């Protein structure tokens, strides 16, 4: 019987990581450092350079590394899915335990399901989405209903400098958790058990829940073992996602639209006229979706940064550089939830429509 290459016994988990930007490369480093995973990284634009030279990393969590590589670097998910046998006389499918997705969330341009399909094993592979937005797990759950789907809300600060340098300035702090049911974007359905009594079905559901929790626990344990600053396993990951949206759906979007940095939007009073009303809209959507956030969080989120903060939000950088923005998962999906649950979102509505015009302009440039 053929065995897979480079899979020592202590690298118990086979992990495929897709999207090796600033966030993804540090995640691949953490997972490899844990000693618990064999990490295959799927790179696209950087494949050639990194497969030859590796990554040069300057990290607040991991120090300086020169020419670092995960266990395997490949140019596509299809390539990741197949390994040659040790004997070199053939190839075989790799069964991944975890597929970690760190790409930008662009459902129209770069949907996750076809991206990860080659590396997924139904009923086995756990998907870990380290991405922005709301409702991002729905299409994964729909495509692989028996697999575990987790997501991470990351506060890491990390970016890429050409051609192969990763600079991590903000510590790797994140929350992770399992998506047990349909998200707030999809109307929750009371899925009646296909057979058996209510008690039997409930026992079955509890078993499934425990199994999913165990997979998440193993991943988070591995992630902490790899030297991440802190990774917390939480029960309600959707609440954590709504909490992060208080920032991403407000500062990120309005700073992009008005071409302002954080300090400017604050000094202009745009925080009071626009951001706070939007934050409360998000707070009320989260509440209506049964992921209530603390009352105090809005004030804290709005006033935590100083008025001379020159931070330029990621969507502003995308807009300035005519790169696609994560608009649909950051405002589009939350607005679908709001509509379904009857929550008023007058400010978000208009900001969304204005940013759709900006997205259209970026699209035109891309298609020229």
How many other C-beta atoms can be found within 10 angstroms of the C-beta atom of residue 257? 20
Measured from the CB atom, is 189 or 357 closer to a copy of itself? 357
Judged by CB under 8 A, how many residues of this single chain contact a copy of itself? Answer: 25
Minimal distance, residue 313 CB to a copy of itself, in Å:
14
Q: Report the sign of the C-alpha dihedral through residues 335, 339, 342, 344, in that order.
A: positive
DSSP secondary structure letters along 283-315: HHHHHHTT-PPPTTHHHHHHHSS-TT-----HH
Instruction: Look up tokens 């998506």; give the residue.
Output: 179
Instruction: Tell me: does residue 356 bind a copy of itself (CB under 8 A).
Output: yes
Minimal distance, residue 274 CB to a copy of itself, in Å:
5
Sheet architecture: strand order including 165-170 = 63-68, 55-59, 165-170, 157-161
Out of 216, 237, 274, 285, the only residue in the binding site for a copy of itself (CB under 8 A) is: 274
- Identify which range of 128-136, 221-229, 291-299, 358-366 contacts a copy of itself by CB under 8 A: 358-366
Minimal distance, residue 351 CB to a copy of itself, in Å:
7
- Identify which range of 60-68, 193-201, 269-277, 279-287 contacts a copy of itself by CB under 8 A: 269-277
User: What's the CA gap between 26 and 93, in Å, rounded?
Assistant: 26
CB 129 within 8 A of CB 174: no
Positions in 241-260 near a copy of itself (CB under 8 A): 254, 257-260
Measured from the CB atom, is 136 or 275 closer to a copy of itself? 275
Instruction: Look up tokens 């020159």; give the residue.
Output: 310
Minimal distance, residue 199 CB to a copy of itself, in Å:
50
- 259 backbone φψ class: left, alpha, beta (φ>0; ψ -120 to 50): left
Instruction: Tell me: does residue 139 bind a copy of itself (CB under 8 A).
Output: no
Out of 50, 265, 276, 338, the only residue in the binding site for a copy of itself (CB under 8 A) is: 265
Instruction: Tell me: does residue 357 bind a copy of itself (CB under 8 A).
Output: yes
Out of 124, 155, 267, 340, the only residue in the binding site for a copy of itself (CB under 8 A) is: 267
Strands 149-154 and 173-178: antiparallel
| β-pair partners for 178 | 150
Residues near a copy of itself (CB under 8 A) are 254, 257-260, 264-265, 267-270, 273-274, 346-347, 349-351, 353-354, 356-358, 360-361
């Amino acid at each position: 019987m053929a065995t897979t290459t480079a899979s020592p016994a202590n690298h118990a988990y086979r992990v495929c990581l897709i999207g090796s930007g600033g966030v993804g490369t540090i995640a691949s480093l953490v997972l490899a450092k844990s000693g618990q995973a064999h990490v295959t990284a799927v790179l696209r634009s950087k494949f050639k350079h990194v497969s030859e030279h590796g990554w040069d990393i300057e990290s607040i969590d991991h120090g300086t590394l020169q020419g670092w590589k995960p266990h395997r670097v490949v140019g596509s998910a299809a390539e990741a899915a197949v390994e040659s046998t040790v004997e070199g006389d053939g190839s075989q499918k790799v069964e991944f335990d975890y597929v970690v997705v760190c790409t930008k969330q662009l459902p129209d341009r770069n949907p996750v399901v076809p991206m990860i399909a080659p590396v997924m094993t139904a009923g086995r592979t756990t998907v870990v989405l380290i991405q922005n937005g709301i409702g991002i797990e729905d299409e994964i759950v729909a495509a692989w209903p028996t697999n575990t789907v987790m997501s991470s809300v990351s506060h890491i600060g990390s970016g890429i400098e050409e051609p192969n340098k990763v600079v991590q300035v903000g510590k790797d702090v994140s929350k992770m958790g399992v998506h047990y049911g349909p998200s707030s974007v999809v109307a929750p359905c009371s899925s009646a058990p296909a057979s058996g009594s209510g008690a039997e079905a409930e026992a079955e559901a509890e078993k499934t829940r425990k199994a999913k929790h165990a997979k998440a626990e193993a991943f988070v344990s591995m992630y902490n073992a790899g030297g991440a600053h802190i990774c917390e396993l939480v029960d309600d990951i959707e609440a954590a996602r709504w909490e992060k949206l208080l920032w991403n759906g407000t500062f990120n979007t309005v700073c992009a639209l008005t071409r302002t940095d954080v300090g400017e939007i604050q000094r202009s009073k745009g925080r009071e006229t626009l951001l706070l009303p939007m934050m409360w809209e998000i707070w009320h959507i989260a509440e209506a979706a049964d992921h209530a956030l603390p009352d105090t969080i809005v004030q804290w989120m709005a006033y935590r940064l100083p008025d001379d903060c020159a931070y330029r939000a990621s969507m502003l950088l995308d807009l300035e550089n005519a790169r696609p923005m994560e608009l649909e998962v950051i405002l589009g999906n939350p607005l679908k939830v709001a509509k379904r649950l009857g929550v008023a979102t007058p400010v978000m509505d208009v900001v969304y429509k204005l940013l759709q015009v900006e997205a259209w302009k970026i699209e035109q440039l891309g298609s020229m």
